[in-house]
Structure 1
Amino acid sequence: MTVRPPSPPGLPRPGRAGADAAAADPAVAALGRGSPVGAELTGAVHSWDVSVGVDGPGTRFVAFLAGCPLRCRYCHSPDTWYRRSGRHRTVDDLMAEIERYRRFISVAGGGVTVSGGEPLMQPRFTGEVLRRCHALGLHTALDTSGFLGARADDALLDATDLVLLDVKSWDPATYRRVTRTGAVAPTVRFGRRLAERGTTIWIRFVLVPGLTDAVANVAGIADYAAGLATVQRVEVLPFHRLGAHKYAELGLRFPLADTAPPTPELLSRVRGQFAERGLTVY
């Protein structure tokens, strides 16, 4: 149920949290951070949804924020790429929607997930929503690529129970082919920071035949995930073309229109690579 609002190598040196993402890609420096209007903090909210077992444990209220610095070839939500695709909403506005579902998601053992787009394009808004939810006793999750992980301050992470960390690829050339920008280094460092803090992590990896499926590429992610003490599970997500119609509606070409989903044999091999490192795999 989706509800739209009405009308590896080359890791940066430690100690440069404020500049890391910008160093990885200069365009990051110009990205929006969420803006206060009058006395209230507002964000660009694309839509919200209630999901079960997809965006964290239990039944969850999922807020999709607008804007993303990456352009992943397999993205199923191109309608969330730009901040202008969202509606300006205050934290109070979004919390009012969450309150409507609060008892339901609590009883169902769920919580609230802030997703996107990329929620760390709006770290102030994202952090305040997570803080308010945490104060209500709701389980909180942040769904992010980690590319803008340097924008997540300690206060935001203190209010986050779980991070769904989408590791696009390990091999630098493959990462750029997938995202068409940036580098994996900020994600790598962000995951290590989360582990050092004791934050629970679910690693997510989208398996695309002919793009992300190379044995060495998967092995790099598996080794990385196995080295993070707080990784609870790895989700290998099979590529699908269910979002192709959104590209057509936007007048865009879907880059992977001719790519088939992974075969059961390929899925088994990739999941096996993660399992061999002692990881719990879904």
Structure 2
Amino acid sequence: MTTGRIHSWDLSTGVDGPGTRFVLFLQGCPLRCLYCANPDTWRMRDGEEATADEVMAEIEKYRAFVTTAGGGVTFTGGEPLLQAAFLGEVLRRCKQADLHTALDTSGLLGARATDELLADTDLVLLDIKSFDIGTYRRLTGSELAPTLGFATRLDRLGVPVWIRYVLVPGWTDDPEAVDGLAGFVAGLGNVDRVDVLPFHKLGAHKYDALGIPFPLRDTPVPDHGLTERVREQFREHGLRAL
């Protein structure tokens, strides 16, 4: 029986895919993003074990609600592809149940996503943290190349994508890097929109509870003017930026 490690689930509207979504947070993440709002999802062992049957039973309770609202199921984390076999099983069963599916991922582990898994994925929410290699490494502790490779693979397979870009003053607001990312994304034929997400500190209390420092505690949140400037840079490349 396929089992996975689950952090939690929630319902959301508008930010995790179209319509109202049943959002499943999978446990475990290989990145250590400085702005991460969910440090409690980092370690796999901290999650609760669940079977695919148990997850589907929970989703089924909200099926009528999310489908009536034009939504579906979104898998996030953590990093869902850290548990690719479990993810693939639940995605397959969601598609068999005629539920719209979305996968929120950094793309770092895109190689773990089989073509079959992606065939069961109606939408990928692809988080590209920065287009500058050095900044990406300092911001996440990992490398940018796997994410870009995954993006081009999704384009080749024709999987619809929403790009997610967290705007952090002093980190991801460099005009040249934003323009470079916009140019890359504009060259893909499967991107429906770009969500520019202003950095926030709503997860700071989780760091306090875990007894670990929040690296960007003193970093300001972006103001409206900066946020609109970055969105406009994407729009200048013909992209729909929100």
What TM-score does the superposition give when structure 2 sets the normalisation length?
0.99
CA RMSD of aligned residues (A): 0.6
Matches within 5 A, 1:121-140: 121-140=82-101
How far apart in 1 are the matches of 2:177 and 2:92? 36
Hey, what does 1:153 align to over in structure 2? 114
Q: Which residue in 2 is equivalent to 1:202?
A: 162
Determine the structure 2 residue equivalent to 1:190: 150
Is 2:175 the partner of 1:215?
Answer: yes
Match for 2:229: what amino acid?
Answer: R
1:246 corresponds to which of 192, 206, 210: 206
Partner of 1:274: 234
**Aligned residue type for 1:263:** D
Deviation at 1:269, TM superposition (A): 1.1
Task: Give, in angstroms, the shift of residue 221 of structure 1.
Answer: 1.2
How far does residue 206 in structure 1 lie from its aligned partner after superposition?
A: 0.3
In structure 2, runs of 5+ residues without a counterpart are: none
Aligned letter for 1:229?
Answer: G
How far off its partner does 1:217 sit? 1.4
Q: Does residue 219 of structure 2 align to residue 259 of structure 1?
A: yes
1:83: Cα distance to partner?
A: 0.3
User: 2:133 — aligned with what?
Assistant: 172
Q: Which runs of 5+ in 1 are unaligned?
A: 1-39
Establish whether residue 43 from structure 1 lines up as the match of residue 4 from structure 2. Answer: yes
Q: Tell me the CA shift for residue 263 of structure 1.
A: 1.4
- The separation in 2 between residues aligned to 1:135 and 1:187, in whole angstroms, is 28
Pair 1:59-2:59 in alignment:
no
**Which residue, out of 95, 120, 123, partners 2:81?**
120
C-alpha deviation, 1:45, in angstroms:
0.5
Q: Distance in 1 between matches of 2:93 and 2:189?
A: 28
Match of 1:102 among 43, 60, 63: 63
Aligned to 2:184: 224
- State the SS of the aligned residue for 1:97: helix
How far apart in 2 are the matches of 1:60 and 1:269?
A: 29
Render the CA deviation track for 1:90-131: whole Å, top value 9, x for unaligned.
000100000000111111100000111000000000011111
Q: Distance in 1 between matches of 2:183 and 2:44?
A: 35
CA distance in structure 2 between the aligned counterparts of 1:98 and 1:134, rounded to whole angstroms: 12
Structure 2 distance, partners of 1:280, 1:131, is: 30
Q: How many residues align?
A: 242
Residues 11-30 of structure 1 show CA distances to partners (whole Å, capped at 9, x for unaligned) of xxxxxxxxxxxxxxxxxxxx
Shift of 1:224: 1.1
Q: Distance in 2 between matches of 1:280 and 1:54?
A: 15
Give the superposition deviation at 1:234. Answer: 0.1
Structure 1 runs (4+) greater than 2 angstroms displaced: none
State the one-letter code of the partner of 1:91.
Answer: A
CA drift at 1:177: 1.3
In 1, distance between residues paired with 2:177 and 2:28? Answer: 27
